[in-house]
């Protein structure tokens, strides 16, 4: 593609920032407006106009996005071999691999995640006799301190009013000491230590300032202050930096993302050129109307309004259910209808504010035989058997990695108990050595019963370490699995679970093989780095034809043909805290992100009653629904007792259309305003108290006298519960009971051994 074709393939909004190649550029890009297209075309334009790929840096927020960006640029230019296209963390690892010695680390350092952090914090707390119940507090404050890039001493000065500040800073200080001893960085340190390096070391700073003539940052709204400062330092020599983001999609404040970075960029960089991308290519007009109607209520934003040339599309459906069981049944029915009309299951997503809301939806999908997957569950690389293999590999690369070594010193079982391990660790600490170095130097001097167990382990690690650079990557991993007898360890009990563990190990080998074929020159250390830095989005499997259940955070950057946004009640979405307007604005941005994941179909659901904190609670509709006042493209849906969903025009409907356990219906009034009052009678426009219908549904083979909504029942397996709904699913009569111990269960009434209490 030549220059002219490249530029002509963009719309007018996109073309302007691509041609503005010099100086500081801020692009505020609405959802689905083609920001990745702008970035890739700008990079391609630079290359076609003589800029060497070596001098271009492109930063994204997932490895998957980086790979896609590189692939797009290569299709246009056929030349980006020497260009860095990576995440912030990957970039920092590359820099630290070159200069870690300047900070007192070796270049083969390990990278620790949340599990390693929690393990070290727990050990430190035990050494100081701090109650284990405080672990969550300690890990939170360590993370908070690092997000703010504060040392323990600085954190004490900033947050001295905290009740546990002494213990927090003591644990934080010793946590950093332990990381250094293990020659390890955690994820936060990858950023903070890179910033420290660039600030204090002229050689490193000048090397990368000289290299990167043009810097591009995607998803700029998700940067924290340290990332912002790293970018500022790198761009100081040439001043050519382009950031693309959307303040309306800043949803990671809880992990340090700072929406203020977008506004500071305008002040910190001289003569900033600002461009807006407002044309959405993803969604229908009706979906865009919903997104705009809500997000306009935020104050922390640049003034932009999404528009689209796409079709108007189907009306957005708003379902109001009596409880979460009805909500789940509505979703299952709509999913079936979508699939019958030509959608695939993987085209559909059910999005919620937090994971706990998925339980009733999962049960509804199971009952309807609808395949689904939950994003953000147990990730492949967090499975115990996979972490065991990886721990061996990490020790081969970094013998100082105590955390990984402690994981495998007695796996597979060697009879090395916790007392022996603690003694060895204490001896190693007394000599200021890593555990492995101590075993190399002093294992022969340990008591005989311990010596005879640890020496074979030590010698195995020495043997495996010696082969890591002499064999292909796949053969190294195979040798680790074979020589440690990893498979045999999982064959002892011959259970289905252990068979699955073995299959997972085989899957790991397959992934190593695929990686080695793609990156034949990469070392074991580089492979470990690649999987350590994987994000949630990178691990998503698009090949599985299943409905996606996920939190809104988990689907950032994804899109689906049909989206259900569920649990739209105050307290659930938005989650209401005491931190004021900033929190509500981030919650509103979350809703905006959820809505704009939908390409063709959007469904919003709200329940008047929901099981939460061990009891059924009554909820008010989300304030975001009230902000949709005046929209004409929302179709209200009522739930019928016989499992028939009737689409009704509520302006002309009567209360008899809604035949649930209660005779009321929450709906919009004649001005399309959502009425928060319970018991709204559409026919005569009066507010009535909800009244329980006492007529039970009809069963042929079993008497239903007394089995009505609100009745207390007992089940021999599930215990005592309350009937919350009755319905018909296909030919089966289903009764929904909220049990005290196990939550809501949908039971086939005719065969369920329920008794009235």
Q: Which of 597, 601, 610, 623 is catalytic?
A: 597
Q: Degrees (nearest 5) of the Cα angle 191, 240, 99?
A: 35
Strand pairing class (348-352; 184-186): unpaired
Report the phi/psi class of residue 591: left, alpha or beta, with left for phi > 0 and alpha for psi in -120 to 50. alpha
- Reduced to 3 states (helix: H, G, I; strand: E, B; else coil), residue 106 is coil
Cα distance between residue 725 and residue 316, in whole Å: 26
Contact predicate 79/53, CB 8 Å: yes
Concerning whether 482 is annotated as a catalytic residue, the answer is: no
The count of other CB atoms within 10 Å of the CB of residue 336 is 13
- Token look-up 């937090």 returns 354
Query: What are the two backbone dihedrals, phi and then psi, of residue 184, each rounded to the nearest 5 degrees?
Result: -135, 150
Whose tokens are 């290299």? That residue is: 211
343 to each of 42, 137, 369, 684, how far by Cα in Å? 35, 45, 16, 40
* Whether residue 36 lies in the annotated active site: yes
Degrees, nearest 5: CA angle 269-273-277:
125
DSSP letter for 88, please: H
Q: Residue 40 CB: number of other CB atoms within 10 A?
A: 27
Q: How far is CA 301 from the centre of its chain?
A: 24
Per the residue annotation, which of 219, 247, 569, 725 is the catalytic one? 219
CB atoms under 10 Å from CB of 45, counted, come to 19
Active-site pick, 40, 194, 221, 249:
249
Q: Which residues contact 433 (CB under 8 A, 6 or more apart)?
A: 441
In this structure, what are the phi and psi dihedrals at residue 746, rounded to the nearest 5 degrees?
-95, 120
Residue 628's closest CA among 577, 679, 682, 671?
Answer: 671
605 part of the active site: no
Catalogue the long-range contacts made by 262-269 (C-beta closer than 8 Å, 24 or more residues apart): 262/26, 262/28, 262/220, 262/221, 262/302, 264/228, 265/24, 265/26, 265/220, 265/228, 266/26, 268/232, 269/23, 269/24, 269/239, 269/241
User: How far is residue 644's CA from residue 314's CA, in Å, rounded to a whole number?
Assistant: 20
Pairing relation of β-strands 214-217 and 241-245?
Answer: parallel
CB-CB contact of 655 with 648 (8 Å): no
Q: Is 597 a catalytic residue?
A: yes
E-strand ranges in 5-103 read: 24-29, 56-60, 84-87
Out of 13, 35, 407, 636, the active site residue is 35
- Among candidates 631, 502, 576, 14, which has minimal Cα distance to 281? 14
Cα–Cα nearest to 582, from 293, 267, 253, 294:
253
Peptide bond into 412 cis (omega under 30): yes
Question: Is the distance from CB of 622 to CB of 568 less than 8 angstroms?
Answer: yes
Active site residue 429: no
475 is catalytic: no
What is the pairing mode between strands 56-60 and 214-217?
Answer: parallel
CB proximity list for 658: less than 8 A, separation 6 or greater: 638, 639, 640, 664, 665
- Identify the sign of the CA torsion 497, 498, 499, 502: positive
Tokens (6 digits) for 134: 């405080």
Say which of 14, 28, 36, 60 is annotated catalytic. 36
In this structure, are residues 277 and 33 in contact, taking their beta carbons and an 8 Å threshold?
A: yes
What's the chain's Rg over C-alpha atoms? Answer: 29
Q: What angle do CA 6, 239, 250 make, to 5 degrees?
A: 75
Could you give the residue numbers annotated as active site?
35-36, 218-219, 249, 597
């Amino acid at each position: 593609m030549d220059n002219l074709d490249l530029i002509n393939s963009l719309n007018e909004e996109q073309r302007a920032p691509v041609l503005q190649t010099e100086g500081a550029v801020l692009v505020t890009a609405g959802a689905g407006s083609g920001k990745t297209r702008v970035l890739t075309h700008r990079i391609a334009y630079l290359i076609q106009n003589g800029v060497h790929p070596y001098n271009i840096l492109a930063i994204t927020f997932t490895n998957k996005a980086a790979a896609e960006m590189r692939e797009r640029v290569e299709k246009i230019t056929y030349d980006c071999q020497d260009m860095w296209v990576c995440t912030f963390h990957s970039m920092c690892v590359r820099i630290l691999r070159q200069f870690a010695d300047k900070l007192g680390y070796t270049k083969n350092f390990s990278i620790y995640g949340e599990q390693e952090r929690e393990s070290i914090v727990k050990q430190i707390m035990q050494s100081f006799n701090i109650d284990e119940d405080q672990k969550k507090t300690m890990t939170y404050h360590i993370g908070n301190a690092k997000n703010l890039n504060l040392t323990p001493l600085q954190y004490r000065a900033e947050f001295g009013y905290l009740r546990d500040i002494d213990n927090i800073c003591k644990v934080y200080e010793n946590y950093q000491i332990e990381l250094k001893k293990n020659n390890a960085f955690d994820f936060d340190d990858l950023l903070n230590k890179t910033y420290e390096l660039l600030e204090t070391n002229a050689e490193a700073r000048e090397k990368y300032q000289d290299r990167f003539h043009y810097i591009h940052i995607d998803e700029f709204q998700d940067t924290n202050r340290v990332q912002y400062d790293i970018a500022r330092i790198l761009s100081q020599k040439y001043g050519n930096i382009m950031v693309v983001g959307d303040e309306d999609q800043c949803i990671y404040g809880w992990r340090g993302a700072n929406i203020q970075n977008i506004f500071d960029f305008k002040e910190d960089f001289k003569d900033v050129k600002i461009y807006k991308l407002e044309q959405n290519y993803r969604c229908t007009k009706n979906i865009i109307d919903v997104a705009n109607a809500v997000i306009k209520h935020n104050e922390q934003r640049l003034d932009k309004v999404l528009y689209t040339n796409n079709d108007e599309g189907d009306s957005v459906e708003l379902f109001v259910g009596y409880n979460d069981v009805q909500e789940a049944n509505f979703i299952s029915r709509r999913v079936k209808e979508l699939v019958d009309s030509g959608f695939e299951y993987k085209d559909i997503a059910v999005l919620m504010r937090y994971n706990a809301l998925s339980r009733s939806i999962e049960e509804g999908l199971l009952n309807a035989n609808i395949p689904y997957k939950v994003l953000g569950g147990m990730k492949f690389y967090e499975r115990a058997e996979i972490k065991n293999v990886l721990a061996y590999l990490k020790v081969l690369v970094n013998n100082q990695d105590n955390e990984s070594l402690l994981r495998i010193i007695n796996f597979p079982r060697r009879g090395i108990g916790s007392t022996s391990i603690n003694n060895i660790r204490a001896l190693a600490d007394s000599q200021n050595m890593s555990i492995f170095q101590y075993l190399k130097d002093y294992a022969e001097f340990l008591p005989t019963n311990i010596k005879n167990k640890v020496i074979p382990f030590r010698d195995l690690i020495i043997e495996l370490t010696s082969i890591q650079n002499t064999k292909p990557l796949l053969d190294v991993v195979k040798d680790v699995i074979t020589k440690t007898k990893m498979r045999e360890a999982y064959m002892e009990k011959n259970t289905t679970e252990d068979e699955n563990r073995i299959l997972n190990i085989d899957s790991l080998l397959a992934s190593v093989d695929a990686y080695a074929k793609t990156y034949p020159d990469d070392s074991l250390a580089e492979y470990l780095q690649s999987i350590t830095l994987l994000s949630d989005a990178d691990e998503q499997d698009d090949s599985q034809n299943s409905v996606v259940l996920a939190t809104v955070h988990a689907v950032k950057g994804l899109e689906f043909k049909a989206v259900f946004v569920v649990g739209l009640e105050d307290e659930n979405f938005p989650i209401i805290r005491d931190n004021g307007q900033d929190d509500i604005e981030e919650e509103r941005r979350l809703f905006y992100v959820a809505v704009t994941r939908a390409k063709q179909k959007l469904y919003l659901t709200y329940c008047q009653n929901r099981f939460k904190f061990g009891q059924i609670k009554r909820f008010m509709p989300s304030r975001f629904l009230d902000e949709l006042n005046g929209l004409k493209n929302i179709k209200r849906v009522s739930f019928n007792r016989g499992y028939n969903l009737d689409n009704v025009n509520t302006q002309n409907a009567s209360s008899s259309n809604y035949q649930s356990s209660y005779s009321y219906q929450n709906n919009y009034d004649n001005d399309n305003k959502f009425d928060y009052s319970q018991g709204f009678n559409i026919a005569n426009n009066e507010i009535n108290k909800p009244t329980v219908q006492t007529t039970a549904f009809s069963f042929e083979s079993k008497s239903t006298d007394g089995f009505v909504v609100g009745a207390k029942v007992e089940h021999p397996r599930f215990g005592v519960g309350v009937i919350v709904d009755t319905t018909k699913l296909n030919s089966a009569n289903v009764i929904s009971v909220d049990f005290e111990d196990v939550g809501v269960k949908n039971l086939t009434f005719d065969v369920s051994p329920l008794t009235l209490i």
